[in-house]
Structure 1
Amino acid sequence: MTTVSDAERAVVRECAEEVLRKLAGEHAVLRADQWRAIEALVIDRRRVLCVQRTGWGKSAVYFVATALLRDGVAAEAGEPPAGPTVIVSPLLALMRNQVEAAARAGIRARTINSANLDEWGEITAEIRAGEVDVLLISPERLNNPDFRDNVLPGLASTTGLLVVDEAHCVSDWGHDFRPDYRRLRTFLAGLPERTPVLATTATANERVTADVADQLGDALVLRGTLDRDSLRLAVLPLPDPAHRLAWLADHLEELPGSGIVYTLTVAAATETADFLRSRGFPVASYTGQSEDADRRAAEQDLLDNKIKALVATSALGMGFDKPDLGFVVHLGAPPSPIAYYQQVGRAGRAVEHAEVVLLPGPEDRAIWRYFASLAFPPEDQVRLVLANLSADRPMSTPALEPLVDLRRARLEMMLKVLDVDGAVRRTRGGWTATGEPWTYDAPRLRRVAETRTAEQETMLEYARTSTCRMEFLRRCLDDPEAQPCGRCDTCAEPLFDTDVSPDALAAAHAFLGKPGVPIAPKKMWPTGMDAVGVPVKGKIPPADQIRAGRAVGRLSDLGWGARLRQLVEGADAALPEDVAGAVVQTLKSWAQGEDRWEERPVAVVAVGSSRRPALVRGVAEHIASVGRLPFLGELSSSHQGNDEPRGNSAQRVRELHDAFTVPPELAAAVSGLGGPVLLVDDLVDSGWTMVLAGRALRRAGAPAVLPLALAVAG
């Protein structure tokens, strides 16, 4: 390799400064580590890991490097300009921002993702023609069979610079590990010699940094200070969700500019947005369940300051770029101080002051436990999946579900890990076994789980610390320069107190106290049931179907969630008076609302419960008494433990297909009814208990079945 003189490096730096000015304005100047990274990538063609705070300018590094590499700056004699830069980016929000940013520097950027399938052919042709400078792809594309086999090899061989954004996702020690990122090993292996690689993140402690650097191989690591001198951190302990919503309603207007209100669950995001709108605030919700068009519109409205806040789950955690974001409020604490730092880092990038407020709740622990339950499955379940896969006959994820008791998302995550480990391969039509030996790394998984638990405890400590909050977060990220910030609520006089107005608190109590959420009817059986000897498939016959139902609330609701969790996760007990009142209110709203039932129920039946018989029977008898309806009794069940497990639909149908029996006296009673039966249970999770119990009643002669439960999981 030709030695590059200091004078030649100075020329490259001037070119880099010129590109930066196009990108960020005429007064922009490269930071010392920005230049070190660009120099290593463009001149030395090295691999670089850049761990720098949000807003430091990591994207400027790869856009400037792209411009220089594409123009052939610092290329050796006879060496052509570099091929396109490939950026692996986790979220569509980031991709849209990056395409716009690249255009300012005259860089043509395109994306390949699940939202533009119809453009893939056109984009691929543009890449071959040399018309694309930057290609942004999602990590999921790396394991798409068509992309992996037909696009990735050619792309790797022509890539001029590979950028791995949010690189902490590569490491299972990172707070947001994503199996698809591990496919980067294949991409790295296919790169031509001297192809530079840049990995960037704002949230990596020393353990994650070392892990990512090791996977990159011989990487230059550039770690900077993680202080954010524009952020003022605060924690306000409030007694319940109503006080937290009331506080937000009282103070949202005085928070600077526009910002983000983070929640831990989809239900909480929806409820919070609805409540704030009811108080006159222009806000929008943003979750992983939102339609892509709705997410795009919400992002743009926040960017344009048309709304005061975006109420979001962690779906907005990475990649959203709004430099003038004035505040971040958390209703509920994330399970890791590192994840918290990453989210609050969205604020205050181009403004002098931004407010960061955490409103933790006692229910946070329960939500953390639920998400922790979705971790990598135990070995026996993994081995069962491997045993059911063959080398020559692909099996789809739905076809695997009847054979292993894992929910779809968890099963797919496990298969992605096995794919990266070489034990399975994703192909057209599903998954195949490779026959390669595979070891279940129990010690590592245990250590990762222990790390997650320790992070949760550290987050609780953050909420109650009397020391500097910014220093606390920086120490969690192993920042050697961590010191008191002088700005947070422990370093300086707190800006906010915990007082809420009576009016806002009353409105919050009224809003959260409204019970009633829908239970959607099921119309299709799970796929592949014949593989486990259950003779059902396709559409559930209309004569066996139940109608739409109601529950008092979701376990994740801000209002009734905590109260309902106490009942359905605790020991069996009589129906409490407050919940009994909520059941009656749910029935009233069901009878009178716009989506009210077609016919009023004429009788009540309980699902026989082995674990909470007193609670379920108490609900049924109370409804019968208040509604002056006959209580006809309980269905018999051969299934022990009627609580719905965290398994998948196929397994639940297999367990319960023939479990319910209608006793003769109950069958005689329902067959002579002139209207629907109200079928009562405590918890609806997968929903198949209600479907199969209701089918038994329909086959016994019930003209219709209306399901009613105390709670819906999720």
Structure 2
Amino acid sequence: MERSIGPGAEFRTDQWEAIDRLVNRQERVFLVQRTGWGKSTVYFIATKLLREQGHGPTLIISPLLALMRNQIQDAETQLDLNAWTINSKNKEEWSEAKDAVREGRCDLLLISPERLANPEFQEDVLLAMDEEFGLLVVDEAHCISDWGHDFRPDYRRIRRILQQLPDHIPVAATTATANDRVVDDVTNQVPDLQVIRGDLVRKSLRLQTNKLGSRARRLAWLAENVPDLPSSGIVYCLTTDEVETVAEWMRQQGLEFEPYHGGMDDERRRELEAQLMANEVDGLAATNALGMGFNKPDLGWVIHFQRPPNLIRYYQEIGRAGRDLDDAFAVLLSGDEDNQIAEYFIGEAFPDPEEFEIVLSTLADSEVPLHKYQLLKRANISWKAASQCLDMVRVDNAVIRVEDGFERTAADWNYDHDRIASVTQQRRRELERIKQFVQTDDCLTRFIDDELDGSLEEDCGRCASCRGPVLPTEVQDESLVSAAVEHYRAESVAEISPRYYMPKEDGRSKIAEERKPEPGRALAVYGDPGYGALVSQQFDQDNGYSQKLVDAAVEYIKQEWTPSSSPTWVTAVPSPTGEEKVQDLARRIATGLGIDYVHAVEQVEPMQPQHELANSYQKRWNVEGAFATTDEVRAEPVLLIDDTVGSRWSFTEAALMLRDAGSGPVYPFALAERTRW
């Protein structure tokens, strides 16, 4: 322990017992302990002792890259362990890592659960480690359970490994987020697992919930309160777009703030983690990509810009704060869109039975293996749903991955209606509990402890329910709310990038430069505060878009947008329903701009509304050949109007028709860009 932590360091309650069970008794241990308790310290010290006794390396299965980076750094600096990771972001290191395993130079190997499905990894690494494990560690082991808040299909592969593992190889399963139901489920699935469970509540945290309605009001609250908070912290958001918006807003308030999300490259995420660790930034606006395993002992606060989907995830994320502090703040800001986002994620958690059937039948009907993009070309299914289906059926060997893609096996596979219905019902119960958490006047700390089936018997005496508000509950300066609305409007304007390639059944072809549309603009993000909310409210109305939206579009085009060639006329993308709503919008925008509206594009083949189709390929096939030009096409630059834009294929097809008919440059413009959470 002194080698790991420093002179005078002492074990926390249960740490030595866990190490003793792993090293001296070769047992299987399930550590259910709070964030920051030192679960990684247990298996690092156990690894060091086992390696000194001549045992093989430790295999750690861990779900997030941030966790892997933190753990490798800790293992190497604290105990001089030779640690490696094999993941999707470090392919250049795979060969050296595999050599280290085969040659016995690797003390710790960290992988994600998805890596277990990789045939090359199974052959090159797992076989080399077979019978040579010193220790197997399953981090975030609640993911094994269907009832865990973060169930992942590939964790089912871990069950099989554990069931086949020789008795003399110790196992450490760890989590900070398991209630009785999850603990029972995991211990029932993993033989001989001994539970070591401690108190889960961090006493330094002071909790508060604020109901603030609009996102603009929450931005204003952040501007008023974050500058006075101690140390640095994290603002958690549910979506990548929100992360970017919040970070930019905080920078405008004079703070050093950066966005952090899973869409960033690995190097940039490492830089941001290091900056936060060193207090070089005031904070990060982050998705839950910055979560499990990130260890900054002096993180002073965590604020949730939106309500998380359940209390377990909320507990996990606020557990980043206050590890070595007497006081740390955790404030949950809830708002109007919370339920909509939560329902979306619950609905997207499992593909529909029909989507599984589409994937399995499409693969079965193909004479050759199919890559995922080839599957999407043949089937109306989204990339996400196809990925989820493939992950789940591959675990059951109904589909296997081969060099040329995926292929159907002879194994039967049936959709487990009862299990999926039960898990979905559980997700809805969890949603109801966090709704109650936001509304309750009871002790907030104890409310969370009850959800975790903890042992807290008295109120905490520190949260907003016990002592009164930790921070203000309302915005004091209403002008900040107005400024935040304008910020959303400015941030929501999106460039509509032209498509460069046209998909074909057997590949793709490049779109000639002279046929492509020019870069366009969308006035707002569909549903966002300001104009985006107006578009979503008016999209299904029969009486056209409001003059407020028309005026905003005209003002933006006149004053904010400077195309290289100013359009001299306007036309519209035909509506798949035959309605005149988009044409009416285009006419009114043309009037506001003082240029002509021309009926230059018309629909000649039936098609579905694009937003009803699931992937980009299907949207391309939907509009292919559906449009034709009239004899009114002009040779000058043209503004091409639609109300919303998603895949960009309607704009692309209409622009191709116009350019082929002799028009000048085509500039797409939409009221709103459609995004999904």
TM bucket, shorter chain: over 0.9
Contact 2:61/2:110 (CA < 8 Å) preserved in 1? yes
Partner of 1:580: 550
Q: What does residue 187 of structure 1 align with?
A: 161
The structure-2 alpha-carbon separation of the partners of 1:185 and 1:239, relative to structure 1 and needing over 3 Å to count, comes to: closer
Q: CA deviation at 1:25?
A: 2.5
SS of 1:485's equivalent in the other structure is coil
The whole-number CA distance in structure 2 between the counterparts of 1:213 and 1:178 is 17
* Preserved CA contact (<8 Å) 2:35 2:320: yes
* Corresponding residue to 2:72 among 62, 81, 99: 99
Residues 437-474 of structure 1 show CA distances to partners (whole Å, capped at 9, x for unaligned) of 11110121122222222222222221111111111122
Aligned to 1:465: 440
Partner of 2:488: 512
SS of aligned partner of 2:612: coil
Q: Where does residue 683 of structure 1 map in the other structure?
A: 644
Query: In the TM superposition, what whole-angstrom CA distance separates every residue of 1:93-134 from its partner, at most 9, and x where no partner exists?
Result: 111211221121222212122222122222222222222211
Paired AA for residue 688 in structure 1: W
Cα contact 1:610–1:640 (8 A) shared by 2:
yes
- How large is the Cα RMSD of the aligned pairs? 2.2
Q: How does 1:618-637 map to 2 (within 5 A)?
A: 618-633=584-599, 635-636=602-603
Does the CA-based 8 Å contact 1:683-1:711 persist in structure 2? yes
- For the 8 Å contact 1:516–1:586, the answer to whether it is kept is no
Structure 2 vs 1, CA of residues 93 and 55 (structure 1 numbering), >3 Å: closer, same or farther? same
Picking from 665, 668, 676, the partner of 2:631 is: 668
Distance 2:430 2:559 in 1: 42
Structure 1 Cα separation of the partners of residues 43 and 49 of structure 2: 10
Residues 360 and 581 (structure 1 numbering): CA distance in 2 closer, same or farther, change over 3 Å?
farther
The CA deviation string for residues 573-593 of structure 1, in whole angstroms up to 9 with x for no partner, is 42123323332243235524x
Identity percentage of aligned residues? 41
Structure 1: unaligned runs, 5 residues or longer: 1-19, 73-80, 531-535
Correspondence 1:277 to 2:251: yes
Q: Which residue of 2 aligns with 1:55?
A: 36
Q: CA deviation at 1:138?
A: 2.1
1:521 to 476, 481, 498: 498
Per the TM alignment, residue 245 of structure 1 is displaced from its structure 2 partner at its CA by 1.0
Q: Where does 1:437-516 land on structure 2 (aligned, <5 Å)?
A: 437-481=412-456, 483-497=458-472, 498-502=474-478, 504-514=480-490, 516=493
Distance 2:531 2:20 in 1: 57
| Counterparts of 1:116 and 1:610, CA distance in 2 | 45
Question: 2 CA distance for matches of 1:53 and 1:572?
Answer: 54
Does residue 308 of the first structure (1) align with residue 308 of the second (2)? no
Aligned residue number for residue 3 of structure 1: none
Q: CA, structure 1 residues 174+582, in 2 after alignment: closer, same or farther (shift >3 Å)?
A: farther
Q: 339-348 or 611-620: which moved more?
A: 611-620
CA drift at 1:684: 1.6
CA drift at 1:52: 1.4
CA contact (8 A) 2:610 2:619 kept: no
* Distance (whole Å) between structure 2 residues aligned to residue 419 and residue 62 of structure 1: 30
Query: Contact 2:586–2:641 at 8 Å: present in 1 too?
Result: yes
Q: 1:655: which partner in 2?
A: 622
Q: Distance in 1 between matches of 2:578 and 2:268?
A: 41
Alpha-carbon distance change, 116 to 599 in structure 1, aligned in 2, over 3 angstroms: same
SS at match of 1:406: coil
Residue-by-residue CA offset, 1:483-516 (whole Å, 9 max, x unaligned) = 4211111111212221332453343233223252
Amino acid across the alignment from 2:537: Q
How far apart are 1:637 and its partner, in Å?
Answer: 5.7
Structure 2 residue matching 1:32: 3-state secondary structure: coil
The match for 1:602 is 568
Counterparts of 1:277 and 1:41 in 2: how far apart (Å)? 48
1:333 aligns with 2:310: no
Distance across 1 between alignment mates of 2:338 and 2:522 = 22
- What's the CA shift string for 1:552-598, capped at 9, x where partnerless? 12236455444433233x43442123323332243235524xxxx22
Residue 409 (str. 1) matches residue 374 (str. 2):
no
Which of 355, 358, 365 is 1:384 aligned to? 358
**1:481–1:198: structure 2 CA closer, same or farther, 3 Å change rule?**
same
Please say which of residues 364-373 and 305-314 is displaced more in the overlay: 364-373
| Residue 537 (structure 2) aligned to one of 556, 566, 570 | 566
> CA, structure 1 residues 607+585, in 2 after alignment: closer, same or farther (shift >3 Å)?
same
- Taking the aligned partners of 2:603 and 2:663, their CA distance within structure 1 comes to 16
Q: What does 1:246-265 correspond to in 2, within 5 Å?
A: 246-265=220-239
Which deviations, in whole Å up to 9, do the C-alpha atoms of 1:215-252 show, x marking residues without a partner? Answer: 32221122222211111111112232222111111111
Cα distance in 2 for residues equivalent to 1:580 and 1:656: 26
Contact between 2:101 and 2:125, CA under 8 Å: does it hold in 1? no
Amino acid of the structure 1 residue aligned with 2:594: R
Correspondence 1:21 to 2:5: no
Structure 1 segment 14-413 matched on structure 2, within 5 A: 20-72=1-53, 81-103=54-76, 104-189=78-163, 191-390=165-364, 393-413=368-388
Counterpart-to-counterpart distance in 2, 1:426 and 1:589:
53
Q: Match for 2:505: what amino acid? A: M
Question: Per-residue deviation at 1:343?
Answer: 0.8
CA distance in 2, matches of 1:545, 1:42: 65
